Structure 1
Amino acid sequence: MPLAFRLLFAALLACLSFSALGEKIRIVTEPWAPYVMVENGKASGLDYDTTAIVFQRLGIDVQWQFLPWKRCLMMLQQGEADGALDIFKVSERDDLLLYPSEPMSDVNWVLFQANARPHPFNSLDDLKGLTVGVSPGYLYSPEFDSSTTFIREPAPSHEANFGKLIRGRIDLLVTDRRLGQQMLDQLKLRDQVSQLPTVLSTREQFLAVRRNAGMDLLVQRFGAELKRFKREPAYAQLVAHYTGETLQTPQQSPTVSSAISVEKTVEQHERSAL
């Protein structure tokens, strides 16, 4: 067998046939609703379900781990994970990660305030002298992350950040709009906490894999299949289920069979999620 053919065959095996080789791609992520959630040992969420469906279509088995975000990043850097779900594309990670052409979803970073201690926000200048609750390892915007005019105070969880806000230990907190709105309902804080209207920044989040791990072609196929799935009614159904938002697709309304297909696919991946 010619050398070039053998090399091509080996690359195809590495990129396309994890299941055939009896291996699973190792994906790490941090639970944060509505994108990734783990309740009573069962994983779900808009981006989790979408990723599970796309990998199922590609014939790839996934080993999931749900960890604090800083631990996820450390596992990527140390080669203990093959990829991460819901990670931002930043130049500092170009040497480490490969990204598909299609993002999983968009994150809108917004600020939340305690109604008893309002702090109007229109620009970063309005944060001068304040303490803003953040999450360890998260990137918000270059200007926000590097500013020295206010204090960024991390908390071990999103729940802890909201707790610090209502107790006056921080002046504001920054988080994703969808997550923050769900936290207000989950923690029953709608009469105490409100979202400020100005969006700090909007960023795309991806399913990214480590470079030099033989997955170059896989990441291309993942991006193409993800883009195809996001044009289907089944994806709009997931968006509506997890966010309450209506997404228009170029296809017809979902049929009963498509809904059953999505449910069965997600259920298969949930069995091996933990």
Structure 2
Amino acid sequence: MRTMIVRQAANRFALYTSAVVFLAGTSSFLASDASAAETIRITNGEWQPFMSKHSYQFGVNSHIVAEAFKLEGIDVEWGFFPWKRSYQVAKTCQNWHASATWWPAQETLESFLLGDAISETSFVFFHRKDRPFSWQTFDDLYGLVVGTTLEYDYGTDFMNRIENYELNVEWVADDETNFRKLAANRIDVFPNDLTVGLAQIRASLSPDEAASITYHPKEFEKSTLHLIVSKQCDKAEYFVEKFNAGFRKLKESGRFDAMQKDLANGVYDGKGAAQLN
């Protein structure tokens, strides 16, 4: 009798142990499956507050891209490079699938699929307040020193004039250097997107330097910025569809509008005291 009781207890223990092992294995499998989220690898560059490794959530456009994909169950892995390299390494789809965020230039349309427009951009001319400036055509820039940033495209007409030596331009490596040169009276005007320019001024100049700079309201080269996915990628259409679907959800939820308010309030750029009038 005692032997039978011991055997029954042993059998019950064996069943209990097997159940625990099975449940633990199932739990481990589920956890592993849940953690294996799909990932898209996207190159990026410096143009704060839209994109920057130094900005909150890597800039507002980067934030929008990441949140749109997140709503579709896709993680984003970012890689920051100089703009030319950012474009080229994404184009081959060897290690990176996409790049954020670009104008819909003809060259880009030939090699990439574009997601829905994330933001609108245009250029204005920044200048010093004590150097009055007005313009209607690029001919009005004759005799002025124009600051320009390497690897930037300012539009076909503007770039053609540079190539034909019709504009006196000085190239530097980044926008912030151009703003410092403008504040120091070393250039006369500098073209940049208004939102980008104001953010860079707040982040890179002293209050006194920032207060010395204003801009002419006339815009040129209006365009939009897009996530671009290489046509070389097998899942290019899939990634664009997923981004667009997540982007629609982001807008419908009101979070996109909240991000735009944060953009206007300087959340995505460095902090500075001065505002331009």
With the shorter chain as reference, the TM-score category is 0.7 to 0.9
Cα 1:97–1:20 change in 2 (3 A) is: farther
Distance 1:160 1:117 in 2: 19
Q: TM-score, normalised by structure 1?
A: 0.74
| CA deviation profile, 1:192-248 (whole Å, cap 9, x unmatched) | 111111112211000001012012122123123313422431111111012249xxx
Cα 1:23–1:234 change in 2 (3 A) is: closer
Provide the residue aligned with 1:48 in structure 2: 62
Shift of 1:170: 2.1
More displaced stretch, 197-206 vs 184-193: 184-193
Provide the residue aligned with 1:15 in structure 2: none
Q: Report the RMSD for the aligned CA atoms in angstroms.
A: 2.4
Distance 1:122 1:160 in 2: 26
Shift of 1:140: 2.4
Matched to 2:99, the amino acid is: A
Cα 1:124–1:28 change in 2 (3 A) is: same
Distance 1:157 1:234 in 2: 31
Q: TM-score, normalised by structure 2?
A: 0.73
Shift of 1:22: 7.1
Matched to 1:59, the amino acid is: G
Matched to 1:192, the amino acid is: S
Cα 1:123–1:136 change in 2 (3 A) is: same
Matched to 1:96, the amino acid is: S
Provide the residue aligned with 1:5 in structure 2: none
Pairs within 5 Å for 1:244-263: 244=265
Provide the residue aligned with 1:190 in structure 2: 210
Unaligned runs of 5+ in 2: 1-33, 267-277
8 Å CA contact 1:33, 1:179 repeated in 2: yes
Matched to 1:197, the amino acid is: P
More displaced stretch, 119-128 vs 204-213: 119-128
Provide the residue aligned with 1:92 in structure 2: 107
Matched to 1:164, the amino acid is: K
8 Å CA contact 1:34, 1:243 repeated in 2: no
Provide the residue aligned with 1:166 in structure 2: 183
Q: Does the alignment pair 1:83 with 2:98?
A: yes
Provide the residue aligned with 2:242 in structure 1: 221
Distance 1:228 1:126 in 2: 45
> Which of the two has greater helix per residue?
2
8 Å CA contact 1:110, 1:175 repeated in 2: yes
Cα 1:24–1:110 change in 2 (3 A) is: same
Matched to 2:136, the amino acid is: N
Cα 1:47–1:178 change in 2 (3 A) is: same
Q: Alignment partner of 1:61: what SS?
A: strand
Q: Alignment partner of 2:57: what SS?
A: strand
Q: Alignment partner of 1:122: what SS?
A: coil
Shift of 1:127: 1.4
Pairs within 5 Å for 1:1-274: 24-39=39-54, 43-79=57-93, 80-100=95-115, 102-147=116-161, 148=164, 149-186=166-203, 187=205, 188=207, 189-214=209-234, 215-244=236-265
More displaced stretch, 113-122 vs 187-196: 113-122
